[in-house]
Amino acid sequence: MSELVSVERDGAAAARSALERCVGEGGVAIFPADTVYGLACDPLGEAAVSRIHELKGRDEEKPSAVMFFSPLAMRELIATLGSRTRDALAALLPGPVTVVVANPERRYPLACREDPERLGVRLVDGPLAGAACALFQTSANRSGEPAPRSIADVDPALLGSADVAIDAGSLPGTHSTVVDVTAVDAGGGWRVLREGALSNDELERRLSR
């Protein structure tokens, strides 16, 4: 690891700048999401994405979400979506939810993998809110091991292999809920693919407005 940034010591602006710089230079970062710590890189950077899969020991064909820290950074993607999908995103994000949307323009193919017309997206708050970069992201653990709640929980080998690590203290430690809304613009419903930090009751409440 070449750089450790502490939100408490260095401030949120320094943390955002370090993340943006690392991703922009093709590096790999360990960062705080809203639920667990993650590994991240440029979602269009093939070498960096492959590096993350290698570090995790992860199947390269397994899809990942693309994470955003600002609604403005999502505007081009949102413009390709149907009105009901946009409404669902507005109801759920930002928050501890991964929303799988239809992806007719096949954006971010390195995250989609074998199903390029479906894409998981996240928008999160927290100390990195406002960062301009989109991230290919996955939890900062080796495959099959628990996702870390703090920098201290990250495997030392992973921590040592990252270009930047951002410490924001302890996080809740529960994975995001994954909800599929790909059918809503065709008149279909939504379905939960993975239960997580946002309860099914809260999903129902938000999506039935």
Report pLDDT digits (tens) over 15-73. 999 999 999 999 999 999 999 999 999 999 999 999 999 999 988 788 999 999 999 99
Phi, psi of 140 (to 5 degrees): -90, 60
Contact of 76 with 43, CB cutoff 8 Å: no
User: What is the pTM for the complete model shown?
Assistant: 0.94
3-state secondary structure of 120: strand
Is residue 195 exposed (0-12), middle (13-18) or buried (19+ Cβ within 10 Å)?
A: middle
